[in-house]
Structure formats: structure tokens, C-alpha cells
A = this chain, B = another copy of it.
Amino acid sequence: MISFEHFKMEDGSPIYSQIIQYIKRGIVAGTIKDQDEIPSRRVLSSLLGVNPNTVQKAYRILEDENLIESRSGAKSYMTVREAQIALVRTQLMEGNTKALIHAMKQMGISKEDALVLVEKFWD
């Protein structure tokens, strides 16, 4: 069963996006694996304190990306192939890194200073 123990609502981004992001990062980290059972819509919505429809929206999108498999009436499971893991890893790593670099460049921060900042705030 996938754990949402470390999930925290933070950004101003939509909740369903944060759920998707959390799961994808878990896939990259290896804490979420192929055929892992995922919490039901009702259970996760209760756990996160959000509406079941919000969880359903996240799950539906992940299903559209073939990362979740659902059968009406039964539990839902992750369906994560190796090729998908590599793809998600690349997308998330590049996306997050490039977002930081773009911000730093717009602020006129040098690469060296940016690296120092990451070092400084890591812990």
C-alpha cells in the first residue's frame, strides 16, 4: 500500500496536481513500485482532508498516463514499467532543475552562488 505519510500540502498549485506530483516523485525515489496498491478515493481524501472528487481527478489523470490501473468496484494499483520510471525521472529532474536555474538567472545570481545556496539550505 502506497504511503502518504510524507505528503504535505504546500504550494499554491492545485491539490490534485500535488497528489500527482507526490506519486511521481515516489516512483522516481523507488518508494512506489509496480503493482503497489493505492488507497481508495474515499480513504485518501479522508487522510488528506480533501474532497473525494479531488483525489479522483488526480487518479484519473494518472490513469490516463497509464501509471494507475482501476477496476470498478475493486482496489486500484500502480502500473509502472521501467521505461516509464526513466521518463518520469528525467521529466521531474529536468523540470525542477530548470525552474530553479531560470529563477536564479532572472535574479542575476551566478551559477556559483546558486550552488552555494543549494548547499546552504540542503539540511
Q: Which residues of A contact B (CB under 8 A)?
A: 6, 10, 12-13, 17, 22, 25-26, 28-31, 89, 92-94, 96-104, 106-109, 111, 114-115, 117-122
Question: Would you call the interface of chain A mostly helix, strand, loop, or mixed?
Answer: helix
Given contacts A13-B12, A97-B100, A100-B100, contact A89 B107 (CB under 8 A): yes
Closest B residue, CB atoms, query A102: B10
Given contacts A115-B119, A119-B111, contact A96 B104 (CB under 8 A): yes
Chain B residues near A25: list those with CB within 8 A.
Answer: 103, 106-107
A106 touches B13 (CB 8 A): no
A22 touches B106 (CB 8 A): yes
